[in-house]
């Protein structure tokens, strides 16, 4: 009996000691607690973790500041963001089985420094911390007067600027400039994009004069707004996402909050198996801002396995809550009977490598977006960030059209579940769904200025591969969507199929929409074309007067060039119901 007890005590002590060895405390890597920059301590901690196979890094529940001075330069290509020489604080490369537990820590970044880059890693977990910047990459100003050819705007001290050579430039105390590429009006009362506001895209810094400290008169053609509302000057480029995940497997986010970044909140490419729970992308309630992150909240490109998003909040970001898709390359030249040259067309996809020997690629006409052949890759030679030579195991299709047709990888598509989440008050749409895996969207609340859910894909602008095959949209609330200019229905099913070819295409397939509630001032509920298998049933529409209806007389359902369609007329209730807490 004594031997058993002794053995048990030994095991308890052994396990406890092993657990302690597998956990390190961040404060132990801080050599000088008087310094303002904790970046060197992070670099020491990550180096130690890699050498000793540490499984858990624990922070204290306090503020940590990070600057770019001590980080290493690395040229990074991130899909749907802008390439460049980046400096990253948490460079997690070649790491397995690591949890970073903030325990309520507040991570504040300064200037052009990227927080997290995960590459060639597995089983990485982030939990319980917030991310923000001392100076945001965008700027906000309150409209104080609207003239015939000018608008007067007041900027707070958190958005430093200067008038140089007659142009408005934004900057910070570190000497950084913050170029802007567009202006968008937000409703200062509802804290959302203003009703039917559109983007004013700019060619560069705008002519302006200083009227008084903090007040500037801007001379932008056709720019207008409502006094008291807020202009957001959005960055010209997407340079600083909060999290970049590349070529990795098994990444989890638990109770992480992203208040701001200069790009997408989370962008993942060529990776698999994501668990995203209680993620919040939102404007900082302690700051007087209307915007959170300056692009999509989340974005997944050529990912596989599964993506599970549950109990999250995505609000006030400058683009969609999520976008899940693949990438098309365009046929640039036929080189040999079995060899061709392909090109990445959109500049935010330059450098995106996804074609490997042994990969199966589909050949797609960019007119119909329908695949007409599938071939296996024998060898690949990347020439530069735009062009790649591909040799196949058999001769190329005779019907291939050079300079038009596109290719994409097939076979590895993620199963997607998005549930119990809130998507609201952002620019543009809610979700762009393009995975050909099994997709379930359930028990979410949408309040978006454009389409709440968009099924798309194209081979002529963004070159995003989509074409869903199995989607269920059920038990959601669509609360007064389409109060902006980024959609033509609450649920929009389309693609880059050219008008004259839509009857011959069935790009999206098998979409079921049922058990949902639509609170709608806009009668346009569903629009679809080139779909095979579409069912809309057991849904309820509450007519609303939340916004002016500019679409009186429009059809609830605009469905064309589709087959195997079931559209049941929804129950319509004129009770003006809206969702509480919005």
Residue range 388-445, pLDDT digits in tens: 999 999 999 999 999 999 999 999 999 999 999 999 999 999 999 999 999 999 999 9
Q: Does the structure show a pLDDT above 90 at 582?
A: no
pLDDT, average across residues 256-270: 98
Q: Are 246 and 269 in contact (CB under 8 A)?
A: yes
pLDDT in tens, 127-175: 999 999 999 999 999 999 999 999 999 999 999 999 999 999 999 999 9
Whether 355 contacts 329, CB under 8 Å: yes
Task: Report whether 423 contacts 431 (CB < 8 A).
Answer: yes
Span 103-116, mean pLDDT?
98
pLDDT of 573: 82
**Residue owning tokens 């202006």:** 183
438: Cβ contacts below 8 Å, ≥ 6 apart: 415, 416, 470
Is 5 a residue whose pLDDT tops 70?
Answer: no
Question: Using an 8 Å Cβ cutoff, are 241 and 86 in contact?
Answer: no
Candidate from 3-12, 434-443, 474-483 with smallest mean pLDDT: 3-12
* Residue 324 pLDDT exceeds 90: yes
Confidence of residue 21 (pLDDT cuts 50, 70, 90): low
The CA R_g of the chain, rounded to the nearest whole Å, is 25
The closest of 171, 202, 199, 177 to 186, measured between CA atoms, is 199
pLDDT higher than threshold 50 for residue 53? yes
DSSP H or E segment with residue 418: strand 415-419
Per DSSP bridges, beta strands 453-455 and 431-433 are parallel
Please work out, in degrees rounded to the nearest 5, the angle formed at the alpha carbon of residue 321 by the alpha carbons of 315 and 326: 165
Q: How far apart are CA 396 and CA 160, in angstroms?
A: 57
Instruction: Indicate the Cα dihedral angle 8, 12, 17, 18, nearest 10°.
Output: 90
Strands (E) located in 147-248: 151-155, 161-164, 167-170, 180-187, 192-193, 200-201, 208-212, 215-218, 230-235, 243-246
Nearest to 375 by CA among 408, 399, 341, 345: 408
Residues near 545 by beta carbon (within 8 Å), at least 6 away in sequence: 521, 576
Q: Give the pLDDT score at 186.
A: 98
What is the mean predicted confidence (pLDDT) over 50-54? 97
- Residue 90: phi and psi, rounded to 5, are -95, 90
DSSP H or E segment with residue 4? helix 2-21
pLDDT of residue 256 exceeding 50: yes
Which sign, positive or negative, has the C-alpha torsion 231, 235, 238, 241? negative
Residue with tokens 């668990």: 275
Average pLDDT over residues 69-90: 97
Structure confidence at residue 571 (pLDDT): 84
- State both tokens at 133: 């910047």
Contact 325, 354 (CB under 8 A): no
Distance CA 65, CA 67 (A): 7
Alpha helices in 251-367 (DSSP H): none
Mean of per-residue pLDDT scores for the chain:
95
What local confidence, expressed as pLDDT, does residue 18 receive?
42
What the chain holds in terms of domains, given with CATH numbers, is 24-133+240-315 (2.160.20), 139-235 (no CATH), 327-409 (2.40.10), 426-573 (no CATH)
Distance CA 295, CA 285 (A): 19
pLDDT higher than threshold 50 for residue 4: no
pLDDT at 6: 42
Cβ count near 435 (within 10 Å): 24
Q: Could you tell me the pLDDT band of residue 579, with boundaries at 50, 70 and 90?
A: low
Q: What CA–CA distance (Å, rounded) separates 530 from 507?
A: 6
Tell how far CA 304 is from the center of its chain: 17
Confidence of residue 575 (pLDDT cuts 50, 70, 90): low
Tell me the C-alpha distance between 324 and 432, whole Å.
6
pLDDT beyond 70 at 359: yes
Helix (H, G, I), strand (E, B) or coil at 432: strand
Q: pLDDT band for position 3 (50/70/90)?
A: very low
Residue 327: closest CA among 515, 463, 230: 463
Q: What is the pLDDT of residue 2?
A: 47
Q: With contact defined as beta carbons under 8 Å apart, do 202 and 219 qualify?
A: no
Helices (H), 274-424: none
Q: Residue 33: what pLDDT?
A: 80
DSSP state of 206: P
Structure tokens at 415: 């199963």
Confidence band, pLDDT 50/70/90 cuts, at residue 247: very high
Checking DSSP bridges between strand 249-258 and strand 243-246, what pairing results, if any? Answer: unpaired
């Amino acid at each position: 009996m004594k031997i058993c007890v002794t053995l048990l005590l030994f095991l308890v002590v052994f396990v406890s000691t092993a657990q302690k060895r597998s956990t390190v405390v961040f404060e132990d890597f801080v050599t000088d607690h008087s310094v303002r920059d904790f970046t060197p301590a992070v670099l020491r901690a990550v180096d130690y973790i890699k050498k000793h196979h540490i499984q858990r890094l624990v922070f204290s529940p306090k503020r940590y500041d990070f600057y770019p001075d001590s980080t290493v330069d690395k040229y990074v290509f991130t899909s749907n963001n802008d390439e460049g020489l980046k400096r990253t604080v948490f460079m997690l490369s070649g790491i397995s089985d690591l949890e970073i537990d903030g325990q309520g820590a507040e991570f504040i970044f300064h200037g052009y420094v990227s927080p997290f880059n995960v590459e060639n890693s597995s089983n990485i977990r982030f939990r319980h911390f917030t991310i923000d910047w001392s100076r945001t990459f965008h700027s906000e100003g309150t409209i104080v007067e609207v003239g015939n050819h000018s608008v007067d705007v007041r900027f707070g001290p958190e958005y430093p600027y200067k008038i140089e050579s007659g142009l408005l430039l934004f900057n910070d105390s570190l000497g950084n400039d913050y170029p802007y590429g567009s202006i968008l009006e937000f409703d200062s009362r509802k804290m959302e994009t203003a009703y039917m506001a559109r983007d004013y895209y700019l060619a560069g810094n705008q002519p302006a004069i200083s009227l008084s400290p903090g007040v500037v008169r801007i001379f932008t053609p056709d720019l207008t707004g409502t006094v008291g509302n807020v202009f957001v000057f959005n960055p010209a480029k997407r340079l600083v996402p909060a999290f970049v995940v590349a070529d990795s497997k098994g990444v989890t986010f638990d109770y992480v909050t992203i208040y701001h970044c200069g790009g997408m909140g989370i962008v993942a490419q060529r990776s698999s198996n994501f668990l995203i729970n209680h993620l919040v992308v939102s404007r900082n309630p302690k700051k007087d801002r209307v915007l959170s992150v300056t692009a999509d909240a989340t974005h997944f490109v050529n990912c596989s396995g599964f993506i599970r998003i549950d109990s999250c909040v995505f609000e006030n970001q400058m683009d969609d809550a999520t976008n899940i898709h693949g990438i098309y390359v365009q046929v640039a030249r036929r080189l040999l009977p079995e060899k061709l040259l392909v090109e990445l067309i959109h500049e935010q996809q330059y450098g995106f490598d996804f074609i490997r020997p042994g990969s199966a690629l589909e050949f797609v006409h960019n007119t119909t977006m329908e695949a007409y052949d599938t071939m296996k890759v024998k060898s690949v030679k990347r020439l530069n960030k735009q062009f790649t030579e591909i040799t196949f195991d058999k001769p190329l299709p005779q019907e291939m059209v050079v300079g038009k047709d596109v290719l994409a990888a097939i076979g590895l598509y993620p199963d997607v579940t998005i549930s119990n989440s809130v998507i609201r008050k952002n620019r543009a749409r809610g979700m762009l769904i393009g995975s050909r895996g099994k997709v379930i969207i359930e028990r979410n609340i949408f309040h978006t200025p454009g389409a709440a859910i968009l099924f798309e894909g194209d081979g002529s602008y963004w070159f995003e591969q989509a074409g869903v095959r199995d989607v269920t949209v059920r038990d959601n609330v669509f609360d007064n969507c389409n109060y902006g200019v980024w959609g033509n229905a609450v649920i929009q099913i389309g693609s880059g199929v050219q008008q004259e070819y839509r009857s011959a295409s069935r790009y999206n397939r098998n979409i079921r929409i049922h058990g949902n509630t639509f609170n709608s001032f806009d009668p346009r509920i569903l629009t679809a074309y080139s779909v095979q298998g579409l069912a809309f049933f057991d849904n309820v529409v509450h007519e609303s007067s939340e916004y002016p209806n500019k679409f009186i007389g429009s059809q609830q359902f605009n469905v064309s060039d589709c087959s195997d369609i079931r559209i049941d007329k929804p129950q319509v209730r004129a009770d003006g119901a809206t969702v509480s807490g919005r």
